[in-house]
A and B are shown apart, each in its own frame.
Chain A
Amino acid sequence: MSQADLTMEVHTTGLTVGPAFSIPTKKLAMWLFIIADTMTFAACLVAYGFLRNGTPDWPRPFHSITNVAIMTFILLTSSLTMLLGLRSARAGDKAGAFRWTMITAAAGIVFALLHIREWMGLINEGMTLFKNPWGTGLFGASFFSITGLHLTHVTGGVIALLVVGVRYKGGRYNADDIEILGLYWHFVDLVWMFVVPLVYLLNLTH
């Protein structure tokens, strides 16, 4: 049993009533973080919609959905591998859980690389934070801000996956920690499912 588990028990067992609604404290904290993060993404996406509706020369520069479809496929698959990792961890299969966690992290890295490649392509076409060849400069600003915020989350998630995976293998973390990290990873995935239609599909060339 890890030190983290011992210390959490000080608060949640013995004479205390135990966690409300059967949710451990660390898991509750992750859900709260997700709620706050949802508000942050919602603010950005609503602001994007507000600006897009109010701007007549909004550009629609994307010609194909191939790249974003591949990225989406990879990220969705990584949610599945995350689940497989959790299932292995719950079943006590340490090696399997470690392997699936690393595969998830690898999928995150591939997603990030594809994303950066797409960014570089757009930058080479002349798109910056304040101007682009197709229309209002706001497009670049919102595109880079929203996808950048998401990419930051993916990057943070990959680092967390690597750290938690290695420490899980070393015995410091257990299946619960993998589950909590999984919540975050699925959230990053879910947010992407809002980013794709709003930022990519709405801006496809007719």
Chain B
Amino acid sequence: MHDVAAHAAHHAPPTSFIRKHVFSLDHKVIGKQYYALALVAALVGMVLSWFMRIHLAWTNAAIPGLQLLSPNGAPGGVMTPEYYLQLMTMHGTIMVFFVLTTAPFAAFGNFFLPIQVGAEDMPFPHFNMMSFWVTFVAFLVLMSSFFVGDGPTLGGWTQYAPLNAVGSVAGPGQGAGVVLWAISIALFCVGQLLGALNFIPTTLDLRVKGMSLMRLPLSAWAWFITSCMGLTAFAVLMPACILVILDHVAGTSFFVASNLVMNDQMLPHSGGSTLLWQHLFWFFGHPEVYIAIIPGIGIVSHILITNMRKPMLSQRVLIYSMGALAVLSYMVYGHHMFVSGMNPFSSLAFSFPTLVITIPSSIVVLIWTFSLYGSKLRINSASLFALGFISMFVSGGVSGFFLAQPSIDIMLHATYFVVGHFHLVMGVAAMFGIFAGTYFWFPKMAGRMMNETLGKIHFWLSFVGAYCIFMPFHYLGMAGNVRRYSTFVDDFLQPLIPVHRFITIAALITGAAQLIFLYNLIHSRFWGAPAPDNPWEATSLEWSTATPPPWDNFGGKHPVVYHDPYQYGVQSSVGDYVMQTSPEQVKTEHEEK
């Protein structure tokens, strides 16, 4: 580590292509690399979901080309039930880890956290570079499981025991597939731990003069809180993955109970606990949900304030609420295990904090709503997606009140109700946060403006599409439609097939609408109108530097901060706002201290 710190100096920008664009130490390049990784992962995950949706709606329909991916898993293009589960597992793993964690936290956080605190770079650039490349290797390892043996694991992104630990007897992909999955996730944990080791000291130690903690923008606070969670949550998942690998390769049986019979075979393992995996996994897994959403909360607040032209009702309460979400997220993890055979008293103990965690969530939403009330919101792609984020967060969050209660959850847990819940509140909401951040920060990241018309079309198609896809999930769940089934052959599910077809068509259209975003992104990157330094008339530090920012972020100068982050709705020489770096005094300053 001392060696790494020794190279922290930024004496001169690199000149070679590899140092500039591949093994770069620059947090801005690393942020873009994370973004590109998330983009590729999101496309892969989306295509996998298309395959699954088509199969659910038209069971025996052949999907052209799928047999090329797996001749055994999809003979003639028709996927087997096992292959459906394999695609589902990969969809979940890719989306949760390589999209929802990397894009809002690692990508935007890497690019903008150092700039927003006024630093030249992260304190340990070599750790930062390793963080990305370890994550990249983790992604390659996960992808490789498509092509190894009998394909990727079919255990779902939660990889429940004992199926994750007994080997190929549990089905295709449960041998080499699980081992590759566990190696990939363990590597991913290392990458995120290295990231957290950079994010926290950046926030605490590298702030410029005048930048007190309460003067940090809300997005910086969100990344800081998220990195604190990442530091503790990924450190638990990593040993859990290593124990799974040991169960596979070293003959241990941490997660396999004794005398287990599977496919008419008595397994040689003895003595482990299947529930242990769930405890270890969900102790990570629930904080992970908030690792995905808290950066979104910060990004959306940051964007809304800029477009409302006034600060939130209370910056301080918003920050405390994010902190409360982070702390509580560790105490509620057992609500994923109400149907796992825990002691019913444990369910009660986990149900209570789960209901308590709705309080900070509701406070956040109320602050947004009442701050928006009466404001003259500037409508652009970024602010629309920020509003969409709130809508998805509320719609998905409301069903959390139901699921928090064991007596109701026991009915709904294994149904599409839960799938609808988490896709809205964590999947789509976090995606909307990513989109909002992209439309907002793209000018600074790429130096060019994105096309607003295409952005608005993209928003409306995504917004309506997401509701068309995920709202019916709740209805399906209440009608008893079980999840993780590849085909619905039971009589009572037949009337629901048209709903599935509707969802599939909506998913295909909404997915295709993302191509508009992709086109907009690539086209604007090369041919967009050049972006000014501060296109949104915003106040925080990232808008005070050049577009795109120079190698050391502020061109050899150290900015000095004079104001709280969101001085909008004031009268100054430049308009209705004062930048944090402007020494100008204004009459009605918003003070949070």
Residues on A lying within 8 angstroms of B by beta carbon are 2-4, 6-8, 10-12, 14-17, 19-21, 23-26, 28-30, 32-33, 35-40, 42-44, 47, 50-51, 54-55, 128-130, 136-138, 141-142, 145, 149, 164, 167, 173, 177
Complex Cα spacing A17 to B215, Å? 13
Interface of A is mostly: helix
Complex Cα spacing A177 to B5, Å? 11
Q: How far is the CB of A89 from chain B (nearest CB, A)?
A: 15
Complex Cα spacing A19 to B211, Å? 12
| Chain B positions within 8 Å of A51 at CB level | 254, 271-273, 276
Would you call B1 an interface residue if the criterion is a C-beta within 8 Å of the partner chain's C-beta atoms?
Answer: yes
Task: Report yes or no: A141 in contact with B2, Cβ–Cβ below 8 A.
Answer: no
Task: Report yes or no: B250 in contact with A129, Cβ–Cβ below 8 A.
Answer: yes
Would you call B9 an interface residue if the criterion is a C-beta within 8 Å of the partner chain's C-beta atoms?
Answer: yes
Task: Report yes or no: A43 in contact with B123, Cβ–Cβ below 8 A.
Answer: no
Would you call B369 an interface residue if the criterion is a C-beta within 8 Å of the partner chain's C-beta atoms?
Answer: no
Complex Cα spacing A16 to B271, Å? 57
| Chain B positions within 8 Å of A7 at CB level | 5-9
Q: When the two chains form the complex, which single residue of A16, A25, A28 contacts B208, counting CB atoms closer than 8 Å?
A: A16
| Interface mask (B176-210 → A, CB under 8 Å = 1, otherwise 0) | 00000000000000000100110011001111111
| Chain A positions within 8 Å of B250 at CB level | 129-130
Q: How far is the CB of B393 from chain A (nearest CB, A)?
A: 28
| Chain B positions within 8 Å of A23 at CB level | 204-205
Question: With A15-B209, A130-B253 as given contacts, are A36 and B196 in contact (CB-CB < 8 Å)?
Answer: yes
| Chain A positions within 8 Å of B211 at CB level | 17
| Interface mask (B211-232 → A, CB under 8 Å = 1, otherwise 0) | 1010000000000000000011
Q: Which of B86-139 contact A (CB under 8 A)?
A: 118-120, 123-124
| Chain B positions within 8 Å of A14 at CB level | 558
| Interface mask (B280-303 → A, CB under 8 Å = 1, otherwise 0) | 100100000000000000000000
Task: Report yes or no: B253 in contact with A11, Cβ–Cβ below 8 A.
Answer: no
Given contacts A16-B209, A20-B204, A29-B201, 5 further A-B contacts (CB under 8 A): A11-B206, A17-B208, A36-B234, A43-B240, A145-B252
Question: With A4-B2, A54-B273, A137-B253 as given contacts, are A129 and B246 in contact (CB-CB < 8 Å)?
Answer: yes
Question: With A15-B560, A19-B204, A29-B201 as given contacts, are A8 and B5 in contact (CB-CB < 8 Å)?
Answer: yes
| Chain B positions within 8 Å of A50 at CB level | 273, 276, 279
Task: Report yes or no: A40 in contact with B236, Cβ–Cβ below 8 A.
Answer: yes
Q: How far is the CB of B242 from chain A (nearest CB, A)?
A: 8
Task: Report yes or no: A43 in contact with B270, Cβ–Cβ below 8 A.
Answer: no
Question: With A10-B10, A15-B558 as given contacts, are A29 and B123 in contact (CB-CB < 8 Å)?
Answer: yes
Task: Report yes or no: B196 in contact with A32, Cβ–Cβ below 8 A.
Answer: yes
Question: With A7-B5, A7-B8, A137-B252 as given contacts, are A47 and B280 in contact (CB-CB < 8 Å)?
Answer: yes
Q: Which residue of A lies closest to B252 (CB)?
A: A141
